[in-house]
Amino acid sequence: MLPGLGGRVHSLFHKPSGRELLYRNPVFQPADFALNGAWFSGGLEWNIGATGHTALSCAPLHAAVVPAPDGGDMVRLWEWERLRDLPFQVDLWLPADSDFLYVGVRIRNPHERTVPTYWWSNIAVPEDEGTRVLAPADEAWHFGYERRLRRVPVPESHGDGTDRTYPLRGEFPADYFYEVPEGARKWIASLGADGRGLVQTSTDLLRGRKLFLWGAGRGGRRWQQWLTEPGTPGYAEIQAGLARTQLEHVPLEAGAEFSWLEAYGPLAADPGAVHGEDWAAARAEAGARLEEALRARGWRRPTRRGGRTPTTSPASRSPPATGWGALEVVRAALELPGTPFDEATLGEQQLPWLELERSGTFPASREAALPGPSLVAPHWRDMLETAPAEPLTEYHLGVAQWHAGDVAQAVRSWERGLKLASARWPLLRCLARRRPGAGNPGRAADHYAEAFDDLLRQERGDGEGQERGDGEVWTAATATLGREAIAALLAAQRPQAARAVWEGLPPAVRGSGRLPARRGAAPRRGGGQGGRPRSLRRRLRGARPA
């Protein structure tokens, strides 16, 4: 397990058979897939927040060892998820007499309002020509590059005679959300040509089941290669979620909680049956073998009925993750048994918000400091609206208004802040991100170019006598803003201005990621869309669906 990287289960190795049940990525290669722009493939991950991979995918979680329901030990992970403003916990344990990893999940709503809730447990499984994914469903919701959700039959979902339950028989990346009938056991399995592989099952609350496949086409294979290292076998993803599809959220009432149980383990079935042409017989065979495995370990009753997640408080724990949960506990005097958010965990990022809570004023930062993370929950947005209208306050207020869907108010807040700000680039970037949606790419490019120049000035401290602080953080901010600015300037047909931004980046940044391709695009005129070379456009077409 990797508590420092979103609590990912990196490996699940079945000792009796000597089999690795998960796709275990041999490298750490983050990609811009998660809600925070940092995600890596492989293993078993927990996605909470909104559609997509969680913003916590590369973030540390609180972790501790606590007593398990069977009397042994288990690992508890927990954190406060800021996008939906909800605390959650994940308990993992391996009973001595079981072939299954048990996982208990709880999401609590301590607020006086209903909160839209999203959860998908995402399992990366090895993939080859003989891999088949099975679930107890005859229909699925297909979502692909056409960005349209449509109901299709399983297993031949596209009317072309191709069985898409074999991930490598499809050409393009796609999602298949299986329509599991009410009352049926909720499970999904990935089995190889020998009928062996991994199965996941859960209590009924976790109703959704999904297959994501990269497909055998050029784009999907290219992404697989980029996410790992050359020569590594491919993978598919099987998932389990609260809703039928990932385009939905489930309302969690005020003061209520969602709690469920999951199991992950090996499954061995008759290969002739699970790979036969009779789909009903194939999934019946996998389902029967799962029932046998669960009955043998006393799992049938808890898997169907569920049960409350243990709330025993940790006696000892790993170094704490963040202080966002502690901030909310202090603000609202919350009691959250089993998931302590101690006031001692409050850090530099939380202190301005604590000051806002206590005094009604958001403190101004040092001139050369980054603006810091924003909080977007309704109670913080209300406090920002009544706080003195300083530039940094207006920046965070605009982000909260944007999150709430009030785009016009967000723009007004950023424009108000810009009138008084000496560090202008955070506000200019926000306005630039707004402009393309308003159909004005030229104005967005103007804002980006001005923002990048201002960031470089702030980083240098130009005669101000100020220190820039954490050089690594500033480099990351410069790289991100530079990449966005180059893309906006190319879209506005300003290749020379894009090159000027590229030349302003630190040398190490210029040689990383997609920026070398951008460098080749910048001087071109009339050679393609927005100055992008044809090779780059082909690569961008291979991007993954949301």
113-139 confidence digits (pLDDT tens)? 999 999 999 999 999 999 999 999 999
Helix (H) or strand (E) holding 119: strand 119-126
Distance CA 162, CA 527 (A): 39
Distance CA 338, CA 80 (A): 13
Which residues face 48 on adjacent strands?
A: 119
Residue 234 confidence (pLDDT) above 80: yes
Average pLDDT, the chain: 88
Residue 433 confidence (pLDDT) above 60: yes
Distance CA 151, CA 157 (A): 9
- From 2.40.50.100, 3.30.470.10, 2.70.98.10, 1.20.120.1080, which CATH number describes the 3-305 domain? 2.70.98.10
The DSSP 8-state label assigned to residue 144 in this structure reads: -
Residue 546 confidence (pLDDT) above 60: no
Residue 529 confidence (pLDDT) above 60: no
The DSSP 8-state label assigned to residue 362 in this structure reads: P
Domain range list for the chain:
3-305, 359-541
Under 8 Å between Cβ of 105 and 90: yes
Distance CA 441, CA 435 (A): 6
pTM for the model: 0.88
Neighbour-count burial of 312, counting CB atoms closer than 10 A to its CB (0-12 exposed, 13-18 middle, 19+ buried) = middle
Under 8 Å between Cβ of 268 and 289: yes
Look at residue 241 in the predicted model and tell me its pLDDT. 98
Which residues face 503 on adjacent strands?
A: none
CATH topology (fold) of 359-541: 1.25.40
Q: What is the mean pLDDT of residues 279-293?
A: 96
Look at residue 361 in the predicted model and tell me its pLDDT. 97
Look at residue 27 in the predicted model and tell me its pLDDT. 92
Look at residue 383 in the predicted model and tell me its pLDDT. 97
Under 8 Å between Cβ of 45 and 22: no
Q: What is the mean pLDDT of residues 401-424?
A: 94
More confident residue, 154 or 366: 154
Distance CA 67, CA 376 (A): 35
Distance CA 248, CA 246 (A): 5
Distance CA 354, CA 400 (A): 17
Distance CA 187, CA 240 (A): 8
* Digit-coded pLDDT (tens) for 161-207: 889 999 999 899 999 999 999 999 999 999 999 999 999 999 999 99
What angle is formed at CA 45 by the lines to CA 41 and CA 51, rounded to 5 degrees? 90
